[in-house]
Amino acid sequence: MGRSLTRCNEHQRRAAKHLPLGVSSNYRFWGEGRTLYLAKARGPRIWDIDGNEYIDYRLGYGPAVLGYAHPEVDAAAREGIEIGGTSGISTERELEVAQRIGAMVPAAEMVRFANSGTEAVMASLRLARAFTGRSMHAMVEGGFHGLFDAVLWRSEVCGADGHTEIVPESEGVPLLVGQLVQQVPLNDCERLEDLFRCKGDQLAAFLIEPIQGNCCGIPATPEYLETVRKLCDRHGVVLIIDEVKTGFRVARGGAQELLGVRADLCAFAKAVANGYPISVIAGRADIMRRLGPTVPQGGTYAAHPVSLAAAAKTLQIIAETDALARIEAYGRRLQQGIGAILKSRGVPHVFVGHPSMGGIVLSARQPRSLRDWEQSEYELYNAMAAKLNDLGVLCEPDSMEPWFVSAAHDERCLRETLEKAELAIDAALDEWHEESPESGAGGAG
């Protein structure tokens, strides 16, 4: 299946002598022989340094919500350059962007800017601890909140009784930090009630991605979110909603608008500036006002004028045009098309989350949590994704990662994607049957 990665592979080997794995983020290393290097990105497409063209459904894990190299956003960024750089002095546009965010996200009574999603969640967590005077926080299994010690934990089932223990996601995370972390499965109200009964008065924060952007897009149910909100209120726990992936994508007001929940604090990044580096800590004025002499937040590059100008334009387009509605409509048609191909081959499947960042899970029923995803045919999915990549459709070769759609994806992309999906699915099924002839998928016709 045809693409050559000669230059990419050669570059990876040379780069690996100077950059660990030859890349600047672990997630950009897809293995020797499969790691891409970007030459150019425009609209919904990217080109690697071998000249291979791809329709991109990764979009850098979401940021390019309007498409790459968006002319109006880039023109705004150029205006931002005219300011002259990072001066360690605030610029007037911070207020404009804060107001734009406040107009779309009711919970964003006040706003501060940082550079990455990690920074925004980290600052929110510290702020919650400062506000409550408590040190512990709870998170949901399958959630991802960045690369800092307090959130790099996952639950592992141990023993026959199914009880879980939390373990660090990385070497180098101090085990001591784990004493401050609690985890619960998504959409299990009973476990949630237990957690608050036992630890509610020690928790500073409950941290949740209401649509798990790093776990197929599995959404929290409205009932679960209602219970979370109620328990946080009852126990004085700050509800932090991580909208790093969902913000300014699944709805103008993010997952909070879509699922009808209001955060005390929330974190945004990715789509805010269509990919220019900026993130947002937002929330209740009484909590946000604690930022000051006793709770530091900031940084040399915070609210960089280039990113800020790009954010103002991106948010204006999201607020004033039908960009998000078009993204959602494209996502639905993409899912209908892929669904029809899988159905005709007898492959049980469900689409998860929101069409603008939808997961494809090869299983007969909707996953309600990470534990359900583990029961799906994710290896077959991964094989299909690898074939799609070879054919020029770029989705993450890992079924935990949803497909991201931009406002630049058009009819031609859809047609091409579905033609290639048919080829990729058939090729993956052929391999699957050769390797595991007893497997049912694809047998029912």
By CB under 6 A, name the binding residues for ligand PMP. Answer: 61, 116-118, 121, 144-146, 209, 213-214, 242, 244-245, 269
Using the minimum distance from each CB to ligand PMP, give the nearer residue, 372 or 401. Answer: 401
Residues 6+ apart with CB under 8 A from 328: 354, 355, 356
CB of 250 to ligand PMP, least distance (A): 12
CB of 27 to ligand PMP, least distance (A): 8
Using the minimum distance from each CB to ligand PMP, give the nearer residue, 278 or 441. Answer: 278
The alpha carbon torsion through 424, 428, 429, 435 (nearest 10 deg) reads 170
Using the minimum distance from each CB to ligand PMP, give the nearer residue, 280 or 287. Answer: 280
CB of 353 to ligand PMP, least distance (A): 12
* Structure-token pair, residue 343: 């159905």
d(CA 436, CA 205): 46
Using the minimum distance from each CB to ligand PMP, give the nearer residue, 86 or 116. Answer: 116
CB of 346 to ligand PMP, least distance (A): 33
Strand partners, 42: 45
Question: CA angle 313-252-261, nearest 5°?
Answer: 145
In 3D, which of 413, 420, 399, 402 has the Cα closest to residue 341?
420
Question: CA angle 146-169-63, nearest 5°?
Answer: 25
Strands 153-158 and 211-212: unpaired
Task: Look up residue 202 and give its DSSP letter.
Answer: G
CB of 418 to ligand PMP, least distance (A): 27
CB of 318 to ligand PMP, least distance (A): 18
Using the minimum distance from each CB to ligand PMP, give the nearer residue, 214 or 227. Answer: 214
* Structure-token pair, residue 281: 């800590």
Residues 6+ apart with CB under 8 A from 307: 77, 80, 115, 273, 276, 277, 278
Using the minimum distance from each CB to ligand PMP, give the nearer residue, 47 or 148. Answer: 148
Using the minimum distance from each CB to ligand PMP, give the nearer residue, 117 or 331. Answer: 117
CB-CB contact of 388 with 382 (8 Å): no
CB of 150 to ligand PMP, least distance (A): 12
The amino acid at residue 143 is G
Nearest residue to ligand PMP, scored by beta-carbon proximity: 117
